[in-house]
């Protein structure tokens, strides 16, 4: 999972001694978005549409994601960063602008839902987007090692994992094998759900769990300082299978 700030290959792609010198200077900079801006400053085209302006703030990363989701909903996809030049560009280093923690559901692939491409996102997927030490460490990786400015916890409509957990906890009938560990991870959301009447308790549990997970990450001892400084936003969101739209629940950054 290399996160070197600027691949040497980029100096070749942008061409010219002046551009090469600018990029070598950018290599020593702590600016994680240096690769795209160096190419833009050199006045040369970037290898792929989104590579020249990697979002470097929580708001700009959030705006990029939501713009992509709008294209997904509208059917006006751009399929950015999905060509051989992009593959070559990120082969030696990566600098994703977002972290997505979502469910394993086959109908909710983050790269499609947000119309992104190769090297744009760190993606973790677990049943019901539940977390544990390894998952939390994976979420922390981007923000703590390369300044990734945005984390999105993405729940979704008609989540089978949450439904199975809800029914198992309600009926006190453990799920088979390690599936029960998912139900146990969802127990706090279940407890919150049953405190009040919901027309659709499973959907309510999805939303509650998603918000709880984001809140836990937002106050995590390692991520909280980044959030406090304004370098990171942790957003909870909900994906509609019916419409394709991502609804923000909590934590949307301001411009």
According to the model, what pLDDT value does residue 102 have? 98
**Nearest Cα residue to 153 out of 189, 207, 190:** 207
**Tens digit of each residue's pLDDT (9 = 90 or more) over 1-58:** 554 444 333 333 333 333 333 332 333 333 333 333 333 333 333 335 445 478 999 9
Query: H/E/C letters for each residue in 45-113?
Result: CCCCCCHHHCCCCHHHHHHHHHHHHHHHHHCCCCCCCCCHHHHHHCCCCCCCCEEEEEECCCCCCHHHH
pLDDT, tens digit, for every residue of 188-220? Answer: 999 999 999 999 999 999 999 999 999 999 999
Residue 244 has pLDDT above 70, yes or no: yes
Residue 105 to residue 154: CA distance in whole angstroms: 11
Strand order in the sheet with 150-156: 121-126, 98-103, 150-156, 233-239, 246-250
DSSP state of 119: T
Average pLDDT over every residue of 216-239: 98
According to DSSP, residue 231 is labeled S
Residue 2 confidence (pLDDT): 52
199 alpha carbon, distance to own chain's centre: 30
* CB hemisphere CA count around 22 (13 angstroms): 19
Instruction: Look up tokens 């801006």; give the residue.
Output: 37
Q: What is the pLDDT of residues 118-169, one digit of tens each?
A: 999 999 999 999 999 999 999 999 999 999 999 999 999 999 999 999 999 9
Q: What pLDDT score does 255 carry?
A: 85
Q: Closest by alpha carbon to 105, among 121, 127, 124?
A: 127
pLDDT reported for residue 53: 79
pLDDT of residue 54: 86
């Amino acid at each position: 999972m290399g996160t070197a700030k600027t691949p040497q290959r980029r100096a070749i792609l942008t061409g010219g001694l002046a551009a090469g010198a600018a990029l070598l200077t950018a290599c020593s900079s702590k600016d994680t978005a240096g690769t795209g801006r160096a190419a833009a400053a050199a006045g040369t085209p970037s290898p792929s549409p989104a590579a020249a302006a990697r979002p470097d703030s929580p708001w700009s990363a959030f705006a990029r994601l939501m713009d992509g989701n709008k294209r997904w909903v509208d059917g006006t996809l751009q399929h950015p960063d999905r060509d051989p030049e992009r593959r070559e560009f990120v082969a030696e280093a990566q600098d994703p602008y977002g972290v997505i923690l979502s469910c394993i559901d086959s109908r909710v692939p983050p790269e499609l839902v947000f119309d992104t491409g190769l090297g744009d996102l760190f993606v973790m997927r677990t049943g019901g987007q539940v977390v544990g030490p390894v998952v939390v460490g994976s979420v922390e990786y981007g923000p703590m090692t390369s300044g990734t400015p945005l984390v999105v916890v993405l729940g979704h409509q008609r989540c089978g994992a949450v439904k199975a957990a809800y029914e198992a906890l309600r009926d006190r009938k453990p799920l088979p094998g390690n599936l029960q560990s998912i139900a146990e991870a969802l127990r706090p959301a279940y407890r919150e759900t049953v405190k009040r009447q919901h027309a659709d308790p499973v959907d309510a549990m999805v939303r509650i769990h998603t918000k709880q997970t984001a809140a836990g990450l937002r106050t995590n001892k390692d991520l909280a300082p980044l959030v406090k400084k304004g370098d990171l936003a942790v957003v909870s969101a909900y994906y509609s299978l019916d419409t394709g739209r991502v609804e923000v629940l909590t934590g949307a950054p301001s411009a």
